[in-house]
Structure 1
């Protein structure tokens, strides 16, 4: 990478890339061209030559591609305004301002860097860290068990509206499911690793062990004997949630899968929970992820 690549001049002011911005740009881009479906590696393996081009989203000059005289000069060379590309796609983007606006390039950058982050967050085998089962999503768990070669018999649920109504008969079920949970192989990414949204995360399994608050959770007595239909509106549904920075993670709770009176109480007041969930929706304006829990319980504190 030569001096001309690292240093630019604008209006007589030297605008050098800071080492930190270059490192962040290359790390977030994974050393791969960010243009959709290109995936060209920007370091030649045989020679270690660097062929990556740094493309400005807002041009470094007001008269350049996507130039903006009002854009702060001290941000022009920040990693937020830079896109790592191969030579071909750098030329393509800078020669076509109509097809590639500032907003288009910001979306390309977001999609690419999110994809790289997801690949680096390689799913790892999840080790059961639940001491008790407060919540068992029987249909979801049966699918997961089937993928691992286990068949679950749900004849016991015939005529049963919810797990809580099983009372003492729930004990052997919970013991067998806890044993199953310990055996099945589940690859999961930590839920709180999620930052920027990427459509590929929908349907994937994520692990969590975090402090949650609750909303609209009924008490055991309040729920007992009632039919309960989950609403399409989040504000009307029972759920637990946690926050990390500006992002909110919501786990929608169906009371029929809550196991005991103690579990109802724990969900009602909130607290530390661990388990697995599947991401179902993302609302960008609210920066809110909606997930369906597979199972939930208090974490084993020696693993937490």
Structure 2
């Protein structure tokens, strides 16, 4: 195992403490568990706060929410949804257009902890990068799902969608779903680093398109303080989005504007120099190193 694989985030832990260096990871897990708890409260405990699944739900008997990709597949399949489904889809699209479409991937999707665990194990075992299909592959899968829906008159992707299968499995019994989850875990661990979410999943591709002009963004505002430790690249599920903001020349925006960014916040967590922060797409200011850099304590004098 390489030294780098063992030391990712250690400087941040030394400066911020363990919780500070895992703040957004912990918040994401709380968010994912919170959404799941809302859905399971009804079937498990009779507390019907939310009825349905991530594909379509009704909150407190009033607020409809519809997966816009399911809605789009329904349209191309020739089925005009009810008004509540239309309203629900518009609400979800508006929310993720503001927050960043792939925020869904890192803060809501139940498959995300599986792929995060696979990436952690991949790094711990110091495995090679593996097979890396083009990132555009997920756009082709998205197009194929819509075409198949149009031809068959069905919501085609939902038949095999691991997100829907896992969510329903948690609610009503896993069955074969365990095999699907295990396959994704092994694929990301042994065959392709960040393979499922980063290269194949059409849901992520769709939400990336929805949030391409979103307001909430991560900024490498203090990039002058970067010490090239590369920890942000090690933990980022879409590491190619970092360089334009972090390594940009004078005059280049420090904002991560690529729609592939999941707004997971892990780059913020693991950076001991506090280079990254959440902001909005209209804030392209840069900070001087002295504004953010705090010298590490000398272990000989601590």
Measured against the shorter chain, the TM-score band is: under 0.3
Q: Which has the higher contact order (CA 8 A, sep 6+)?
A: 2
TM-score (norm 2): 0.26
TM-score (norm 1): 0.26
Which has the larger helix fraction?
Answer: 2
